Amino acid sequence: MSSPKIVNGPGGYILQDVPHLIDYLPDLPTYPNPLKDNPAYSVVKQYFVDTEDTVPEKIIVHKDGPRGIHFRRAGPRQKVYFESDEVHACIVTCGGLCPGLNTVIRELVSSLSYMYGVKRILGIDGGYKGFYAKNTIPLNSKIVNDIHKRGGTILGTSRGGHDTTKIVDSIQDRGINQVYIIGGDGTQRGASKIYEEIRRRGLKVAVVGIPKTIDNDIPVIDRSFGFDTAVEEAQRAINAAHVEAESNENGIGFVKLMGRHSGFIAMYATLASRDVDCCLIPESPFYLEGEGGLFEYIEKRLKENGHMVIVLAEGAGQEMMSKSMESNTLADASGNKVLKDVGLWLSQCIKDHFKKIKMVMNLKYIDPTYMIRAIPSNAADNVYCTLLAQSAVHGAMAGYTGYTSGLVHGRQTYIPFYRITEKQNNVVITDRMWARLLSSTNQPSFLGPKDTSEEEKETPEGEICNGVVDIPPVTKE
């Protein structure tokens, strides 16, 4: 892999920069941005984003200037590295479904054609393998006009089948010079490999990722598209569970939501709903039997209230279930471990427990996962998808490559691939948001007694100086 581009910025911040085509094609000509003739140009005071403009990953205010890690700010640039007639773009969607995929496709096509006058745009059919195995779909503004009102992806998607050489051969053979890749962590890893191979071959091809994960488990960015829609749609399942629970003697409404490794959907759906008595997520281990365990809490809630609602993220309790069942080594076509249905398993454990203690209980299990994934994105996600797509296109036209577009502290940025794929975004159960959830549900924390010595520890970021966090400046080279 080519080494990450890190620049020491003025004032002592570190710019984790994204690659540019001129890094390996230094003689590329530039052209004035055609957007200078766009109506948008005349209404915004400073329409073109300054090439030096950056966005901090963490906001650190310091008397001597910016500090910390920064990313390049997204947006239209004064100069572009592609002429409109020269652009031959393609769009591919990979991995699982997520609300908003069609909106991103639509807005990529609209941005390319309306803003930059691009006429040649191809859809790759059925994920990465579509580059070399299937037909392509010609795209224009008319074809994509109302696809944002539909769930899924009009391009189709798949897992597995990433063959870097074959994909780049196909890109080269078709004369494609802008590749837009929409997908999750696996997809972005694949995109990074495509970028590396394109660079190795010295091709004038911009490779751009748009991060997709309904679970909101991609690091660095504020949130992922589709997440807001998923939380909203999960309310319907929780409402149904509540109605079922209320209508039966000692009723339990039990809802399984998405979240293989991160419980954000379960946490936000619980906080939004107010009907949930217990939220179980992968980050917060829990146990069933004994004092302070789940069974004890369920018994208590049923005795107090006559019914309860439990929300469970699909990755929660996996270890506990694996211990009680034979080991699971199944993997999908992309190599991701296939999780067993913890919802079914836990429902059965709860039923067995109440049978054992001879207490009446009626449990209704609802798994709305595939229904949530398949719906069109809501208004907030539609706006977000539009901004992501516009930023992605501005960046490619400006010659940037090997990046993901994303929102950081409310600003559109270009983030190098390695920052998106190096780790996962998780719910931090020692943070206030999880504490707020515990206060709202009143469920046990399933943790041991609090170690109060932690509170006296100093912040690891550095010293507090004039009321701001002071981290040492970076020495300029």
Enumerate binding residues for Mg ion (CB under 5 A): 184-186
Q: Which among 133, 206, 140 has a CA at the least distance from the CA of 170?
A: 133
Place of tokens 């710019």: 15
Q: Indicate which of Mg ion, ligand ATP, none lies near residue 393 (CB less than 5 to 8 Å, by partner kind).
A: none
322-341 positions binding ligand ATP, by CB under 6 A: 334, 336
Q: With respect to ligand ATP, which residue has the nearer C-beta, 133 or 288?
A: 133
- Collect all residues with Cβ–Cβ distance below 8 Å to 96 and sequence separation of at least 6: 157, 159, 184, 214, 373
Q: Indicate which of ligand ATP, Mg ion, none lies near residue 160 (CB less than 5 to 8 Å, by partner kind).
A: ligand ATP
User: How far is it, in rounded angstroms, from Cα 50 to Cα 46?
Assistant: 9
Q: With respect to ligand ATP, which residue has the nearer C-beta, 211 or 395?
A: 211
Instruction: Determine the 3-state secondary structure of 114 from DSSP.
Output: helix
Which residue type, as a one-letter code, is found at position 205? V
Q: Work out whether 207 is an interface residue with ligand ATP (CB under 6 A).
A: no
Q: 110, 79 in Cβ contact below 8 A?
A: no
Q: Indicate which of Mg ion, ligand ATP, none lies near residue 48 (CB less than 5 to 8 Å, by partner kind).
A: none
Question: 351-374 burial, b if ≥16 CB within 10 A, otherwise e?
Answer: eebbeeeeeebbbbbbbbbeebbe
Count residues contacting ligand ATP (CB under 6 A)?
21
Q: With respect to ligand ATP, which residue has the nearer C-beta, 33 or 170?
A: 170
Closest approach, Cβ 217 to ligand ATP, in A, equals 8
Q: 89, 123 in Cβ contact below 8 A?
A: no
Q: Work out whether 130 is an interface residue with ligand ATP (CB under 6 A).
A: no
What is the DSSP-derived secondary structure letter of residue 336? Answer: P
Q: Which among 278, 290, 293, 298 has a CA at the least distance from the CA of 359?
A: 298
163-202 positions binding ligand ATP, by CB under 6 A: 183-187, 189-190, 193
Catalytic option among 215, 217, 228, 381: 215
Closest approach, Cβ 188 to ligand ATP, in A, equals 7
Closest approach, Cβ 138 to ligand ATP, in A, equals 22
Q: Indicate which of ligand ATP, Mg ion, none lies near residue 381 (CB less than 5 to 8 Å, by partner kind).
A: none
90-129 positions binding ligand ATP, by CB under 6 A: 94-96, 127-128
Q: Work out whether 376 is an interface residue with ligand ATP (CB under 6 A).
A: no
Closest approach, Cβ 221 to ligand ATP, in A, equals 14
CA distances from 103 to 141, 142, 144, 384 (A): 12, 14, 9, 9
Q: With respect to ligand ATP, which residue has the nearer C-beta, 156 or 473?
A: 156
75-94 positions binding ligand ATP, by CB under 6 A: 94
Q: Which among 200, 329, 345 has a CA at the least distance from the CA of 280?
A: 345
Q: Work out whether 12 is an interface residue with ligand ATP (CB under 6 A).
A: no
Q: Work out whether 160 is an interface residue with ligand ATP (CB under 6 A).
A: yes
Active site includes 215?
Answer: yes
Q: With respect to ligand ATP, which residue has the nearer C-beta, 94 or 237?
A: 94
User: How far is it, in rounded angstroms, from Cα 366 to Cα 242?
Assistant: 11
User: How far is it, in rounded angstroms, from Cα 362 to Cα 341?
Assistant: 20
Closest approach, Cβ 159 to Mg ion, in A, equals 9
Q: Which among 56, 49, 137 has a CA at the least distance from the CA of 90?
A: 137
Q: Indicate which of Mg ion, ligand ATP, none lies near residue 190 (CB less than 5 to 8 Å, by partner kind).
A: ligand ATP
Q: How far apart are the first and last CA of the chain?
A: 24
- Residues forming the site for ligand ATP (CB under 6 A): 94-96, 127-128, 158-162, 183-187, 189-190, 193, 213, 334, 336
> Which residues are the active-site residues?
215
